[in-house]
Structure 1
Amino acid sequence: MNSQLFWKYFIPVFVFQLIFELGLFVYRDFFILFKDLGLGGSGTTFYGWAVGRLRFYAANADVLTGPRIPQTANPWQGRLNVLPQRKGPRPTIEGCTPQRQVDFPAPPNTMLAIEAMYDDFVTTPETADHITVRTSFLEPGLRALRRQLTIPTNERGGPLDPKSVALNSRDSYGGEIIHAHREGTAHVILHPADVKRVIEGGWGERHPFCASGIRLWLFKAYYNWFHGINIPVPEYLVITYAPRHAEDYAVLRQIIQAAVWYATEGRRFGLDANTYPIPPAPESTGD
């Protein structure tokens, strides 16, 4: 082949094809798939898509492995000791900011049904742990169940002085407990032991930003040590799959109760000797 023809025709065509295919990828990934995930996260603008994509590739980690339970956990162990195994395959969760379920669609009123459960956990302002419903701290525009902070707060309900609370602590995320998404999933902050039980029971998975492994430590190093700010989401955040029927809603209610219990350090829905009945001894099978 004539080298002049190669450089004159083949290379420009190759470059044009590469640019065209890249444009198709951006169009399909941003204008169609990314926007279909819905509101929240880094936003539905092109900048939000680019940030979300970079974060997703950086945080691509194992979301089905439970977290380590630190010795300083308060309460020291989880609450969800009795959690049934979810039947059926796991739904597909895509995205990072936002993170959403893309198959096994739930009824269109699922988010409203989940939000209706918030009222069962709301308390009066006079209580020691005031639980309220307000705009989500993590995903503004959504309604969330939150614990009112006892320190001065800003317009979003987060700490007025971020340096007054420890990085990655429950207070640093505005006391958020749960917020639901329009396709029926929900982001819930749980005790690390309960995060593990939710995953093992098949009811949800972790957020890529807080999944186990070296990537979490790299994220902490980048955000906490380099920038001196929180990682984008709480370390013990899980996404619960969209409920399909009454049994799923009953389990989700247990999960929300455990989240409120964790947010209040065990003061709400406290455990006692009768919370989980002691099972009888197994019958002897004989020799």
Structure 2
Amino acid sequence: MYLKKSLVLFIVLASTTKTIAQILKTKKDILYIQQTEANRQPDKVLHAEPLYIDLIRDLGARKGEKEWNLGLGLTDNVKFDAYEALIEYEWAPIDRLGLEIELPFTFYAPQSGIDRDSIPPNRLNSIKLATQWSFFVSEPMATSMAIGYINEFELSDFRNFGSPFIKGNVYNPFLVIAKRWGNNFHSLIYTGPMIEQNFSSNKFHTTYDINTSFHYMITGTRNFIGVEFNKTMDSGDFDMTVRPQMRLGIADNLLVGIVAGIPVYRENERFSSFVRLIWEPKHKHE
């Protein structure tokens, strides 16, 4: 009889402890989400932002928000390695409007046995200017939508820098739809055409990107794990790269994102890696 009572008591205590732990976990998630969403105007929903194809600014951005990004990447191609570097600054001059300026560089190193003259030259790829407007933000639905535009002034490589200085332009309107499922799961679609104009020939070339991402945000933190599926359609050709990723907070306003790239339908590209350092200076609303 004593053993039976002890067993019943143990089961009750274990069940109660588990219930309390679940309540505390849920409460911790809710409190963290409220840091972003509750008791502040305008409405804003906490979403996990992809790390490789990142947004211009948070969806539902609030006036005064700003962020610096430094990115470093390596792509293994068949004939050469491509080293990426970028610096970007993004800010919100008014509620729900994000602006960004980015300078992306690429440096190339030939594989063993490949002549350097047969690979692309090093370059500051472009000057990218972008804007993004969140036209729909619903906290009850945990959903946000935005439209945006990126204008990319393509520059000549370092061998011919200034001859001409700007050799072309890329026009890139896009649409973003993001949804949080419960407290931890996040999904996002980022899609739009890229229309490239070559000034010397005045020819246009259009591709279409569909980027989808799924993330799990760790309870009560800004850390997450997830994956991006970066897909490009080009005149009947389809390319896709899968990018598993994680983001870690190393200080209150400093985060690091780590991304791997696994090509699925790319003939000349092999594995890649990318690291993004994110610094968010404090603003007057905090």
Give the TM interval when normalised to the shorter protein: 0.3 to 0.5
Q: Which has the higher strand share?
A: 2
When normalised by structure 2's length, the TM-score is: 0.33
Q: Which has the higher helix share?
A: 1
When normalised by structure 1's length, the TM-score is: 0.33
